Amino acid sequence: KLLLEVKDLTAVIAESKREILKGVNLTVYEGEVHAVMGKNGSGKSTFAKVLVGHPDYEVTGGSMVFKGENLLDMEPEDRSLSGLFMSFQSPVEIPGVSNIDFLNMAYNARRKKLGLPELGPIEFYAYIFPKLDLVNMKTDFLNRNVNEGFSGGERKRNEILQLAVLGADLSILDEIDSGLDVDALCDVAKAVNGLLTPKNSVLMITHYLRLLEFIKPSYIHVMEDGKIVKTGDITIAKILEKEGYKAISTA
Ligand code: ADP
Ligand code: MG
Ligand code: MG
């Protein structure tokens, strides 16, 4: 079943009106894993942020439809409620708020919107406890302040935990492998794989073949100057790793 359809999407930076996305086309079906690769500055993060409705960007043309609904008509919060999740490239620290309280609040906000009763601390603990295993986290991790003093790997795993708590039909993961050693990368990849079902999909932005060997993509896309210029299988990532972007550049 069709999940996301992006057609000829163009977008500019709201402040300067500089065009970054120059006609992106992408179709994602349920159960698929899509990887987006591309040189620094090619517009990968912008594309991800435009999908979730980041205010730094303005859509100037094209369309993006998620689960049959026009994303352009939806506020960022409603996009998230409808099942679109994005991991933040640099998660913020929230001093004085414990991780579990933060996740509990985020989850309750969602439940409230859906007309479901909020979960108290004990019920929420019961809900989140089984998910800790998935991200290979110990319970003491829940009592630490959000992202405060987290290592790179812990931050990433915390984002995946957040995803596991909230649930999503399409998860956009922007460089979840950045700054991770092989063990941490393996943990994060396992967690993502653990969340994959035939019903949900992942769009992951990465520079590295290694991540794609852990989380097997259905398709790999290459972005160049605000457009997807090539789509294929894991072979693309292997060529990139060996020969660099010049090997597939259209410029
Ligand atoms: P990628 O994720 O592929 O490395 P980005 O989408 O982050 O690329 O950036 C694409 C281009 O847009 C870059 O030249 C970047 O400097 C510029 N850009 C993106 N967001 C902003 C912004 N909020 N303000 C100014 N320039 C931006
Ligand atoms: Mg970049
Ligand atoms: Mg980026």
Arithmetic mean of pLDDT over the chain: 91
Percent of the chain at pLDDT > 70 equals 97
- Residue 35: strand, helix, or coil: strand
Whole-number Å distance, alpha carbon 4 to ligand 1 midpoint, is 23
| Predicted pLDDT of residue 75 | 93
- Does ligand 1 come within 6 angstroms of the Cβ of 201? no
| Predicted pLDDT of residue 22 | 98
- Does ligand 1 come within 6 angstroms of the Cβ of 58? no
- Using CA positions, which residue lies closest to atom 27 of ligand 1? 13
When pLDDT is averaged across residues 106-130 and rounded to a whole number, the result is 93
| Predicted pLDDT of residue 208 | 87
| Predicted pLDDT of residue 251 | 64
| Predicted pLDDT of residue 91 | 60
For residue range 82-114, list pLDDT tens digits in order.
899 988 655 667 778 898 998 999 899 889 988
| Predicted pLDDT of residue 3 | 97
Whole-number Å distance, alpha carbon 178 to ligand 3 midpoint, is 10
Q: Which of 12, 17, 20 for mutating ligand 1's site (highest number of atoms within 8 Å of CB)?
A: 20
| Predicted pLDDT of residue 19 | 98
- Does ligand 1 come within 6 angstroms of the Cβ of 14? no
Counted domains in the chain? 1
CATH number at residue 95: 3.40.50.300
- Does ligand 1 come within 6 angstroms of the Cβ of 41? yes
Q: How many CA atoms lie within 13 A of 170 on its CB side?
A: 24
Q: Which residues contact 72 (CB under 8 A, 6 or more apart)?
A: 59, 63, 64
Whole-number Å distance, alpha carbon 43 to ligand 1 midpoint, is 6
Ligand nearest to the CA of 89: 3
Boundaries of domain holding 201 = 2-247
When pLDDT is averaged across residues 170-187 and rounded to a whole number, the result is 89
Q: Which of 22, 46, 86, 172 for mutating ligand 1's site (highest number of atoms within 8 Å of CB)?
A: 46
Query: How far is it, in rounded angstroms, from Cα 117 to Cα 108?
Result: 8
Whole-number Å distance, alpha carbon 207 to ligand 3 midpoint, is 10
For residue 1, pLDDT over 90 is answered with yes
CB-CB contact of 19 with 60 (8 Å): yes
Q: Which of 9, 10, 12, 13 for mutating ligand 1's site (highest number of atoms within 8 Å of CB)?
A: 13
In 3D space, the residue among 139, 152, 18, 5 whose CA is nearest the CA of residue 72 turns out to be 5
CB-CB contact of 33 with 202 (8 Å): yes
Q: Which residues contact 168 (CB under 8 A, 6 or more apart)?
A: 83, 84, 85, 200
- Nearest ligand 1 atom to alpha carbon 49: 6
| Predicted pLDDT of residue 18 | 98
For residue 141, pLDDT over 90 is answered with no
| Predicted pLDDT of residue 72 | 96
Ligand nearest to the CA of 37: 1
Whole-number Å distance, alpha carbon 225 to ligand 2 midpoint, is 13
CB-CB contact of 251 with 224 (8 Å): yes
For residue range 13-49, list pLDDT tens digits in order.
999 999 999 999 999 999 999 999 999 999 999 999 9
- Using CA positions, which residue lies closest to atom 25 of ligand 1? 13
Q: pLDDT band at residue 183, thresholds of 50, 70 and 90? A: confident
Q: pLDDT band at residue 6, thresholds of 50, 70 and 90? A: very high
- Does ligand 1 come within 6 angstroms of the Cβ of 13? yes
Range name among 55-59, 90-94, 170-174, 200-204 with the lowest pLDDT average: 90-94
Q: pLDDT band at residue 77, thresholds of 50, 70 and 90? A: confident
